[in-house]
Structure 1
């Protein structure tokens, strides 16, 4: 089955709506049954017929490409580099995926455990 850019974009839009699958902060992120139900909803709403296995395989492929592009972007953000020096991926799906996945791929700021005592 051909996965055109339009179908991939449609799939990513549906995937973005199912935060339970990709957001580890979602309260039910570890519930396998609910995640399976979310994948079924994506499969049913997609304009093409494909198996769950094929859908998940496509997601894995897209995530692999996204991670490579994201690593290049992060690697180009060095101290002292200007906005024009930051790598801009040409891959059509990067911006769409980065819009909702950046929050899960960017680490949270650490909290200082240092206690400051003022006398």
Structure 2
């Protein structure tokens, strides 16, 4: 299975539209049936993009990895800003 930037971007957009998966304060966050349906929606979108072998577990792993990479990059940016480095030495994220 190949996660292209286009597919990952579309998955992120669809994930953002499903607050039951990520928004802890949302009243639907604890609804397991709604979460299952949301993951099925994402799964169907990915399968339509020729990722037939992808599973819900793969989606959860990919989202976890994306979130971890984002946090790591944010920490680098924050540490760079705190260090008192000049503007030429500030860390710029390069995830994409």
TM-score, normalization by structure 1: 0.64
Number of residue pairs matched by the alignment: 92
Q: Does 1:42 align with 2:42?
A: yes
Alpha-carbon distance in 1 for matches of 2:30, 2:76: 30
Between 40-49 and 76-85, report the one with greater CA deviation. 76-85
Structure in which a larger fraction of residues adopt helix:
2
Q: Does 1:91 align with 2:84?
A: no
Gaps of 5+ in 2: none
Gaps of 5+ in 1: 93-119
Q: 4+ residue runs of structure 1 moved beyond 4 angstroms? A: 79-86
Alignment root-mean-square deviation, CA: 2.2
Structure possessing the higher radius of gyration over alpha carbons: 1
Determine which structure has greater relative contact order: mean sequence separation of CA pairs < 8 Å that are 6+ residues apart, divided by chain length.
1
